[in-house]
Amino acid sequence: MELQIRDVSKTYANGVQALKHVTLTIPMGMYGLLGPNGAGKSTLMRTLATLQEPDTGTIRLGEIDVVRQRDELRRTLGYLPQEFGVYPKVNAEDLLDHFAVLKGIADRKARRAAVEGLLRQTNLWEVRKKHLGGYSGGMRQRFGIAVALLGNPRLIIVDEPTAGLDPAERVRFLNLLSELGENSVVILSTHIVEDVSELCSCMAIIDQGRILLEAEPLRAIADVEGRIWSRTVPRSELPALEREHAVISTRLLAGRTIAHVYSDGSPGAEFEAVEPDLKDVYFAAMGGHGRSARPVEVAA
Ligand code: ADP
């Protein structure tokens, strides 16, 4: 089973073209959709979750036509939206049980087993009697995953789940996600490159509604090997560097600027070759230096 997204476009009533001919093939396992704010990630996630329809294009999950067979899709969907409300005065166990009823798990014994299993899996069993209003951000996100996993969905969508989590909560949450995905398609939408590099075996980069790159992270990193160069300059020299070179990213270290430059060969003696990581892939793609931009090699 895989999720096939073909030529999906969406323009909002205000004229914003949020998705432009998006085509992706998403296999089972953990898939990262990476892009900056405003790239179109939530629009695509909401479309996959059947909360809105695309203007054009088709989406299939195995045998299910996602756009036309919404009810079938919803029966096998687990969706953790970017923001979700909880009833603050209800405890986790009762609310999860309530959602399980809504999900159609009618048998009381089966429901109790499912609820207990999910609360244990998300490490919330000890705090199951606590009101959700007293939960931390990380606990709330884990509760959201428990809700999303009810009924063993084959499509699981998590939209920007680590935004706002502190580092320890984030690691715990990513560990939980890493256990999913063996028998389902799990899509993690995020603007945090590390979320993808730590978890996902396949990924796509989206910007301004367009897919810039669809790849396996390790292969994408290998593809930019030898093309990323670094130079440390005083901040005042950065504009000059940007005029002369394809600067894809900059970061500050102790008041100086470390710039990464994309270049097929060494851009000069002052530059050091960089062992690239997924951030370099991301910024190279965002700067228009994706795989497709690779020059044709001419035999001597
Ligand atoms: P992301 O999740 O990557 O931040 P979104 O899908 O939320 O991106 O947004 C993509 C673009 O569509 C943005 O320019 C955003 O302002 C716009 N947009 C999102 N939702 C709506 C909406 N309901 N009406 C109009 N424009 C929207």
Tell me which of 8, 9, 12, 55 to substitute to probe ligand 1's pocket, judged by most ligand atoms within 8 Å of the beta carbon: 12
Residue bearing the bigger pLDDT, 38 or 300: 38
Q: Distance, CA 44 to ligand 1 centroid (Å)?
A: 10
Q: How open is the CA angle 270-271-272, to the nearest 5 degrees?
A: 125
pTM of the full structure: 0.90
Q: How crowded is residue 155: how many other Cβ atoms within 10 Å of its Cβ?
A: 23
Helix, strand, coil percent values for the chain (each to nearest 5): 35, 30, 35
Whether the CB of 43 sits within 6 Å of ligand 1: yes
Measure the CA–CA gap between 9 and 56, rounded to whole angstroms.
5
Whether residue 206 has its Cβ less than 6 Å from ligand 1: no
pLDDT in tens, 157-200: 999 888 878 888 888 888 888 888 778 999 999 999 999 998 99
- 3-state secondary structure at position 107: coil
How far is ligand 1, taken at its centre, from the CA of residue 38, in Å? 6
Q: How far apart are CA 96 and CA 90, in angstroms?
A: 10
Residue 295 has pLDDT above 70, yes or no: no
Q: Is the CB of 161 under 6 A from ligand 1?
A: no
Q: Which atom belonging to ligand 1 lies closest to the Cα atom of 159? A: 2
pLDDT digits (tens, 9 = 90+) for 217-253: 999 999 999 999 999 999 899 999 999 999 999 999 8
pLDDT per position as a tens digit, 260-289:
999 999 999 999 999 999 999 999 999 998
Rounded to the nearest whole angstrom, what is the distance from the C-alpha of residue 70 to the centroid of ligand 1? 22
In DSSP notation, 236-298 reads GGHHHHHHHS-EEEEEEETTEEEEEEE-SS---TT-EE----HHHHHHHHHTT-SGGGPPPPP
- What tens digit of pLDDT does each residue of 56-82 get? 999 999 999 999 999 999 999 999 988
Please tell me the distance between residue 13's alpha carbon and the centre of ligand 1 in angstroms: 11
Q: Is 41 in the pocket of ligand 1 (CB under 6 A)?
A: yes
Comparing 28-32, 51-55, 195-199, 292-296, which segment has the lowest mean pLDDT?
Answer: 292-296
pLDDT tens string 18-47:
999 999 999 999 999 999 999 999 999 999
